[in-house]
Amino acid sequence: MEFLRIEQSDKSRWNKVWELYESSFPIAERRKMKDHVRACSDPQFHPVSAWEDGELIGLLFYWEWDMYRYLEYLAIAPGLRGHGFGSQLLRYLRDSNHTIILEIDPLINELSVRRLQFYERAGFTLTPYRFMHLPYRLEGQPIELLILSYPKMITKEQHNDFLKFLGKRVILYCEGYPFDRG
């Protein structure tokens, strides 16, 4: 498997990655393209896609700062789900000395429980921390999410570092920033 950072100038691959991104996440949980393009110019943002024999396997968009990696998006092409590719992408992400943080939806249905179980099998730990993630779009609403971490449960101080990073860096690439959300 080959892991590539796809630039917008590589139209064919860019379009495939963007299509997977848009089809994998609800509209309120994803950036508009112009905001994503701006994020791609940030050296702390890593929009990585996985390819095999010219076929898009999945995407892995993450942020890296200090000793942390924040997994913002992970998606596998629909016809390839359930074949271990998600685990391979997580191994790529974990191949460092960073503490990895990600969030998932609250456990309200079978899909959200299966998502938690997938991450737990990969070595992630559900933390006691919750937070309200700001929407990426002006018409969106804040979403309560659960926090998982790897290789062990993060401390309250590490959780606060994560929240500060979201509030200072990730928010820069939300629609309409700067703005007052009240």
How many residues in the chain? 182
| Cα–Cα distance, 12 to 67 (Å, whole number) | 34
| Cα–Cα distance, 18 to 10 (Å, whole number) | 12
Task: Please tell me which residue, 131 or 2, carries the higher pLDDT value.
Answer: 2
| Cα–Cα distance, 57 to 63 (Å, whole number) | 20
Tens of pLDDT along 20-77? 999 999 888 899 999 999 999 999 999 999 999 999 999 999 999 999 999 999 999 9
Tokens standing for 61? 């968009």
Domain ranges of the chain: 2-173
User: Please, which contacts does 131-136 make with residues 24 or more away whose CB atoms are closer than 8 Å?
Assistant: 131/103, 131/163, 133/103, 133/166, 134/166, 134/171, 134/174, 134/181, 135/28, 135/174, 136/28, 136/29, 136/30, 136/31, 136/32, 136/35, 136/173, 136/174, 136/175
Q: Please check whether residue 175 is in contact with residue 136, taking contact to mean a CB–CB distance below 8 angstroms.
A: yes
Q: Please check whether residue 6 is in contact with residue 36, taking contact to mean a CB–CB distance below 8 angstroms.
A: no
Q: Please check whether residue 35 is in contact with residue 174, taking contact to mean a CB–CB distance below 8 angstroms.
A: yes
Tokens standing for 121? 């099998």
Q: Please check whether residue 112 is in contact with residue 126, taking contact to mean a CB–CB distance below 8 angstroms.
A: no
pLDDT class of 178 with cuts at 50, 70, 90: low
Q: What is the pLDDT of residue 177?
A: 74
Tens of pLDDT along 83-103? 999 999 999 999 999 999 999
| Cα–Cα distance, 166 to 133 (Å, whole number) | 9
Confidence (pTM): 0.93
Tens of pLDDT along 109-155? 999 999 999 999 999 999 999 888 878 888 888 889 999 999 999 99
Which amino acid makes up residue 51?
W
Q: What is the pLDDT of residue 77?
A: 98
CA distances from 105 to 6, 113, 118, 168, 181 (A): 28, 9, 13, 22, 22
- CATH number at 2-173: 3.40.630.30
Tens of pLDDT along 143-168? 899 999 999 999 999 999 999 999 99
